Chains A and B, each alone.
Chain A
Amino acid sequence: MPPEAAEPPRGRTRRPVLAHVVGQNIGLILAVAILSASIVIFAAMFVVQQDRLPGSFEITSTVNNTMPLALAAIGQTIVVLTRGIDLSVGGVIDLTNALAAIFLTGGVWHMAVVSVLIVLAGGVAGLINGLIVGFGRLQPIVVTLATLSILQGLAIRVLPTPGGSIPAGYTAFLVNTNAPTALCFLALAALGWMGFRRSRLGVDVFAIGNDEQAAIALGVKALRTKIIAYTIGGMLYAVAGLFLAASATGGDATTGDDYTLTSIVAVVLGGVNLFGGRGSAVGAICGAFITTMIVNILFFAHINPLYQSFYEGLFLVIAVVFGALIGRLVRGGR
């Protein structure tokens, strides 16, 4: 090996591994902290009013209520990581929810096949987003705003009035009301994310979100990666649509509309950078649960449901401002 003289000068001392882990995952850590705080507040209010701790029923309903948003937020995270944004979330959920209400009938195998087809339909919607964004080199916000409207229109066409029915067995499987089995699905989603993060595709998604031109120079197939990201997003929104149908035991072609904005809220609360390349779906899942906990807290605080969105917005602003301040402090003013 070369002589000592041919070595660049030594610089500052090295930071401990833990400091890197904290500094590089500060968004995720903050999301977990905010979620923990909101759970503690909720539990305290619950104890005061019900003289007992929240139990299995409360956990089950919270998880079941949050599943669709958590799934949508994971999909949104993957798209946002590529430095995109997906406004078509609501449309995909509307459409898949309507399809589920009409076609989910019959035996187990029939339902399984229909579910897979519905997820694929969501994938096709995402694929179309990805193809237009990728090949058309258009702004994702414009493209997905347009597909949002188209999908909403299709959903109304499929299911003009709320209705249809979901077989009880299907509901019991996805949103078991007796035990928080949905936690298993959540764990599965988190596990899937960890695999994604460590896969070639995951690296490519992060790379193009960091710097698309640099990623291309490093041999990343940016176009293909983007298209896949939107497609995965669409499939996850479709799964969210299925969960929503299962818990409502019926379909509604407008039930998904809110999810466009709430999925973005969850992503922001989860510490995912809206400019791409930084963030974790685990954070986004936490973000989804934070929004549910805020609703729960407002309920126990006896806030008039009419003012609910006012308080939700207020909490969002406070959380984001504090998150940014703490993030800046941790990074030492950089």
Chain B
Amino acid sequence: MSEAPVAPAEAAGVVGVRVVSKAFGGVHALRGASFAACAGEVHGLVGENGAGKSTLIKLLGGRLPPDTGSVMLDERAVRLSGTADAARHGIGTVFQELTLLPWMSVAENLLIGREPRSAIGLIRRGALAREAEAVLAGLGIHHIDPRALAAEVSLAERQIIEIARVIIRRPRILLLDEPTSSLAEREVEWLFARIRELRDQGTSIVFTSHRWNEITAIADRITIFRNGQEVGTFTTIDEAKAITLMTGRRVDALYPSLPPVPDGAPAALALAHGSLDGRTEFAFSLAAGEILGIGGLAGQGHRELFLGLFGAPALRRGRISVGGKPVRIANPADAIRAGFGIALVPEDRKTEGLLLSLPVRDNLSLPLLRRISRLGVIRGGAEMRMSREMISGLGIRTPTPMQPVGALSGGNQQKVLVGRWLLAESRILLLYDVTRGVDVATKHEICELMVRLAGEGKAILFYSSDTEELAHLCHRVLVLRGGRIAAELNRPELTAESIVAAAMRDAA
């Protein structure tokens, strides 16, 4: 990255904050932080979850006002009354939580507030879709249907629409909070091409990501945040040093070493004549103690496969056997009961697994209630004891078991979900992109947890949008392409490069 054009450090800051603090109910997200980004640079913002990156972006984007300190625009303190006000100042933001309106069309979402209008000021609906199509094509996007509802397109496509919506408003300051979290490699390349164009036109770009290789690929300067404060701004810094600065401690190896699958381990889960589209068939089997990775570009059937094995909804076709015995999985209840118990941890944990306003304890004990109840009444002592054991066993960071799950960080929410299934004695875990949007330290803990669980004989099917993670954490990787298995990669030829190569082969 030393060859990237580096904005001179003494250049005037276009956007930033000066000694800002922001607290949410006594928890300090930012404490006296300062930050500045210049015109014509891509400024990477890195740090653990809870370091204050997202809060900083929200302050800069006008979504939240600072408690103390000020937001700086062109070296002057400004008060932004909202995102609309920020937009008037030329600030465009892609927030981490997507803001698409699900039951409105892609075109309506894309052009909201600047729809084509007739002479009397009414929106021309036909022109709306055509204009959206043209605008998307101008950005090199041809595969998203502007007439579809936002709810009908994939997560990656939604993220792209969100990015496009901001870019077409030509902001002079572009804030991107985790824009790549649901994008596959190729889509990230698309985004980076757009970012470079904008940078070369003088746009100031602030970019956050948990993927270090993305930061080094795109950022001209990097600012590291820890505990609500900046630690430093760098033009070049190696990963190990950055992680030390982010976490305040050394993380020796990012990925734990993987114990081999014991010889002759029985197959825990097998799929024969499986099909996602009803035409092409595939088969695989997963042994006890094995971590089997599923790789490939986004939208190639991973989600359908994982949901299918969990019966939500069932696969179009395929014979599933658990522990060598055929089982019928028509719905999640079948999956949970089947033989060893199949458990799914989805990526969208907020909507697909956790009861956010209920305490950690209740979320953990949900599948156990019958077992720990007497005459239909829950034995509170037993429930609390089991929850505490799981919280300490998995290293779930929560002040008490009674903390609402929604108040925990993303990575800790994932651990609660895993803990729930462990308490339910599931022995087959389907982990779908569980490290998405999770900070480095927690990611490391989740990786260690996966390896430990595999060592204890759990069978793990693992999809990650982070190819690097698949390469390091899996015994084997199956690469999906167009709803079928395009390649099976074993150690030692299993590397991030080989996964990408298999995923991209004649994928264009």
Contacts and interface: CB of A to CB of B under 8 A. Distances in A.
Interface stretch (A28-36, A101-109, A202-210, A290-298): A202-210
A8 B190 contact: yes
A1 B138 CA distance: 8
Contacts of A11: 143-144, 154, 157, 299
A282 to B, nearest CB: 15
User: Does more than half of chain A's interface fall in helix, strand or loop, or is it mixed?
Assistant: loop
A211 B112 CA distance: 14
Contacts of B95: 217
Interface in A81-117: none
B147 A9 contact: no
B108 A9 contact: no
Contacts of A3: 193
A216 B99 CA distance: 9
Contacts of B123: 198-199, 203
B216 interface: no
B160 to A, nearest CB: 6
Given A195-B122, A217-B99, A6 B83 contact: no
A9 B183 CA distance: 11
B103 A278 contact: yes
B63 interface: yes
Nearest to B63: A217
B140 interface: yes
Contact of A210 (B103, B122, B313, B507): B103
Interface string B82-119: 11100100000001011111111100100011010000
B235 to A, nearest CB: 25
Interface string B196-214: 0100000000000000000
A62 to B, nearest CB: 31
A17 interface: yes
Given A10-B142, A24-B105, A218 B186 contact: no
Contacts of B138: 1
Contact of B190 (A7, A199, A277): A7
Given A195-B122, A211-B99, A217 B83 contact: yes
Contacts of A1: 138, 140
Interface string B291-303: 0000001010000
A218 B104 CA distance: 14
Contacts of B507: 9
A214 B99 contact: yes
Nearest to A221: B84
Nearest to B61: A217
Interface in A16-56: 17, 20, 24
Interface string A210-238: 11011111110000000000000000000
Contacts of A219: 82-84, 87, 113
A9 B313 contact: no
B122 A14 contact: no
B373 to A, nearest CB: 33
A75 B156 CA distance: 38
B499 to A, nearest CB: 15
A190 B105 CA distance: 22
Given A7-B142, A218-B83, A206 B147 contact: no
Nearest to B123: A198
B193 A277 contact: no
A219 to B, nearest CB: 3
A9 B187 contact: yes
Contacts, number: 109
Contacts of B186: 8-9
Q: Is the interface of B mostly helix, strand, loop or mixed?
A: loop
B278 to A, nearest CB: 13
Contacts of B239: none
Given A203-B112, A210-B103, A15 B82 contact: no
Contacts of B488: none
A2 interface: yes
B408 interface: no
B143 A10 contact: yes
Nearest to A12: B143
Contacts of A277: 101-104
A198 B160 contact: no
B297 A9 contact: yes
Nearest to A4: B508
Contacts of B197: 2
A2 B108 CA distance: 26
A6 B142 CA distance: 12
Interface string A292-306: 000000000000000
A136 interface: no
A318 interface: no
B7 interface: no
A217 B83 CA distance: 6
A2 B103 contact: no
Residue from A11, A203, A213 having most chain B Cβ neighbours under 10 A: A11
A1 B507 CA distance: 22
Contacts of A195: 122
Contacts of A329: none
A206 B104 contact: yes
A218 B147 contact: no
B26 interface: no
B145 interface: yes
A206 B125 CA distance: 15
A10 B99 CA distance: 24
Given A198-B125, A199-B122, A203-B123, A9 B143 contact: yes
A24 B141 CA distance: 23
Given A203-B123, A334-B152, 13 more contacts: A7-B190, A8-B156, A8-B186, A9-B508, A20-B105, A198-B123, A198-B124, A199-B121, A211-B101, A211-B102, A213-B99, A217-B99, A219-B82
Interface of B: 63, 82-84, 87, 95, 97-105, 108, 112-113, 115, 121-125, 138, 140-145, 147-149, 152, 154, 156-157, 160, 184, 186-187, 189-190, 192-194, 197, 297, 299, 313, 507-508
> Lowest 9 A-B CB distances belong to which pairs?
A219-B84, A6-B193, A210-B101, A214-B99, A198-B122, A198-B123, A20-B147, A8-B187, A10-B143
8 contacts: A2-B194, A10-B143, A11-B154, A203-B112, A207-B104, A210-B103, A210-B104, A219-B83
Interface of A: 1-11, 14-15, 17, 20, 24, 195, 198-199, 203, 206-207, 210-211, 213-219, 273, 277-278, 333-334
